[in-house]
Amino acid sequence: MRLPFSDMYNRPDERNLLDHTGQGLIGKPLDRPEGPLKVSGAATYSAEWKLPNCAEGVLALASIPQGTVRAIHAEPVLAMPGVIAVIADKAMVRRSTQGTAGKAPAQDVTTVEYFGQPVAVVVAETFEQARDAALALRVDYDPAEKPVPLDPESPQAEVETPSDSKPIEGGDLDAAMREAAFAIDVSYDTPGHASAAMEPHVTIAEWQDDRLILRGSYQMLSYNVKEIADCLSIKPDKVRIIAPYVGGGFGSKLGITHEAVAAAVAAREIGRPVRVVMTRQQVFQTVMRRSETRQRVRLAADAGGRIVGLGHEALVSNLPQEDFAEPVTQATEFLYGGDNRLLKVEVARISRLTAGSVRAPGEAVGMQVLEAAMDELAEAIGMDPIELRKRNLPATVPVEGTPYSSRMLVEALEAGAKAFGWDRRQPTPCQTREGDWWIGHGVASAARVNMMVPAEARVTLNPDGSALVETDQTDIGTGSYAILGQIAGEMLGLPIERVKVELGDTRLPAGAGSGGSFGAISTGSAVMRACEAIRETLAKKLGCEAEELQLKDGVASGGGKQQPIAGLVQEKPLAETGSIKPGKTAKDFSQASYGAFFAEVAVHAFTGETRVRRMTGAFGFGRVLNAKTARSQCLGGMVWGIGSALTEELAFDLRDGHLVNHDLAEYHVPVHADVPAIEVILLEERDAAASPLQAKGVGELGICGAAGAIANAIHNACGVRVRSFPLTLDKLIDQLPDPFAPATAKVA
């Protein structure tokens, strides 16, 4: 389905300017302009700012899971070399802020909610002095009177339906399961995950009279300003945040975290700038985790393989009184048909660090389980897994009846299958062997909701024919500098070298921030709006209608006239601020990006060791703004999928709740040896309901379902169906078939 431009943007118009400009920048695989600065070490990351007289702070962490701080023995620590202060202010936060919160999380660190929670910050002249003092700091605690369990599976864990996640019900699922020609009722579990961004969390806080300046690593500055201001009981206009370069976030830096408030409080108390850099272990222990999940999937199909019933229920966890609950069923709502359905998420209240947004919350773990269950249904029916998926795409969203804005899932499945060579797959497990390795192939759909959020950007066209784009939008390695420059260059008819982009400073107009895959389309649409206003001014100056104006290579033409753009601007720059916000189509249409994953794995016949040998991903997400950065995002998501399938798992000690694998030595993200040749196919489309750019989000799409394709490939290889992620060799080895004879499928 292709839709005209909608009144989501209060500007009904079937004509999209980007299809009629001639500079040729949109979609091109242009390099990131800040790339040379980053690889040469010239880009200043948050910890690298050199402020005179800057003290160093290190967080001291709780050694109990729950309770109250009775006493902090600061005197011995204050006598240590270089130590300036030990601070446990009630303004300091004990939880991370959820993305887009715009307000303070739970404060007062004297109440301990989980093992490893910050309870104080120790400030010294050097990092080493502060670190040693923080480790030496002795804290006395009173245990909690009514502790909550450490394990979400504990019978004592309070389980409730989150306020913003009401069940979706339709028809009679139980009856559909009883009467179905084919039925699948399976339970899977997924572990907790860490964001594991390369750059640790860091803040340098500096007070200038009553104004606070933070140099830090954050994803969403317009919200972060409000959050830090609320924590400190000051007005947001008294806060400035500077974050031009962010070394990855993946959800962990969406909201203000402990080190930011600690640095601000400490700087105010000692009257000097204070830098607080979390260690890798502290980031893992305190910032944000993806919740573990237990998921039940029920699929009922008729004799023709059409789904008539679909159930997807999940148990997740979080701290008491924490609103966020991993939205596991987010894609299940709209992906496949089945009028008889039940979708439900429940949250267990436990004592572990805050659960929140980590790498495509919801779909990342929900899709991998749904897609594994779809493979089980295809096997039960005896149908090709691709055909099963294609046969069950509904005309409108089940129960709701909402139409789709666009959906490239069939095209992705077909393009991916052709490139991957799916027709050579053996449908029966244990049919292909290379030496000691069973070889198998798997497929899974990809889907990720599309979102737009309010955003602003200022574009200035200078008399010398150059342009400047300004917004507090961040670039966390996703390509914001490149994409926003391409949009402005395309709209204003300028070579990319003539466009400068400044990001990551709250003195600039408030962009969308980097998160939820909405940064490029939201802030990019604001840039487009600003450029449209400049084009209208240029058309008037040239003496032609705006529709006639052509801008290319620094020259304006229209109405039979031609003139250099610089000549039209003359002495005074043309500056316009564009803005965008969601409107009707956000509710009128189901908006999502789609794709398909294909994986080939090798499973060692004797040990169960699994290697992903190759992967193909085909994706449709509206207009491609930059083919290089988009491919990079999809490729990175597929690497995340490998981690979710095979290696990544948070491990908590249930005796006291401490995180056992709290660094990159023990928390196993995929490394080069784990990542095979990955092929990414970008499917060009237009979705006018999604954004003025006709583009949709891509940043998180590449993980949503990828682990399911790998799980399905493992089953195809060796006949073992593992329903507990990650699929490590210990879950396979005792279920492997006789390596010298084919075997029927087994369930681990």
For residue 103, which of 294, 233, 280, 239 has the smallest C-alpha distance?
233
* DSSP character at residue 724: B
> What dihedral do alpha carbons 516, 726, 708, 434 form, nearest 10°?
140
Phi, then psi, of 77 in degrees rounded to 5? -70, -40
Q: Which two tokens stand for residue 2?
A: 């292709």
Residue 39 CB coordination number (10 Å): 9
Name residues whose C-beta falls within 8 Å of residue 160's C-beta, 6 or more positions apart in sequence: 346, 347, 349
Distance CA 538, CA 229 (A): 41
Longest dimension (CA), the chain: 82
Specify whether 700 is catalytic.
Answer: yes
**Residue 373 near residue 388 (C-beta atoms within 8 A):** no
Residue 694 C-beta-side C-alpha neighbours within 13 Å: 20
The three state secondary structure string of 325-366 is CCCCCCCHHHHCCCCEEEEEEEEEECCCCCECCCCCCCHHHH
Instruction: Report the C-alpha gap between 600 and 643 in whole angstroms.
Output: 15
740 Cβ partners below 8 Å, 6+ apart? none
Measured in whole angstroms, how far is the alpha carbon of residue 467 from the centre of its chain?
31
Q: Which of 227, 326, 333, 700 is catalytic?
A: 700
List all residues 6 or more positions away from 146 whose beta carbon is below 8 Å from its beta carbon. none
Degrees to nearest 5, angle at CA 703 with 699 and 706: 150
**Cis link prior to 167 (omega < 30° from 0)?**
no
Select from 736, 565, 554, 579 the least CA-distant residue to 222. 579
- Which residues pair with residue 168 across a beta bridge? 343
Tell me the CB-side half-sphere exposure of residue 581, using CA atoms within 13 A: 2
What secondary structure does DSSP assign to 110-150, as a single string?
A: TEE-STT-EEEEEEESSHHHHHHHHHH-EEEEEE-SSPPPS
So which residues are the catalytic ones? 700
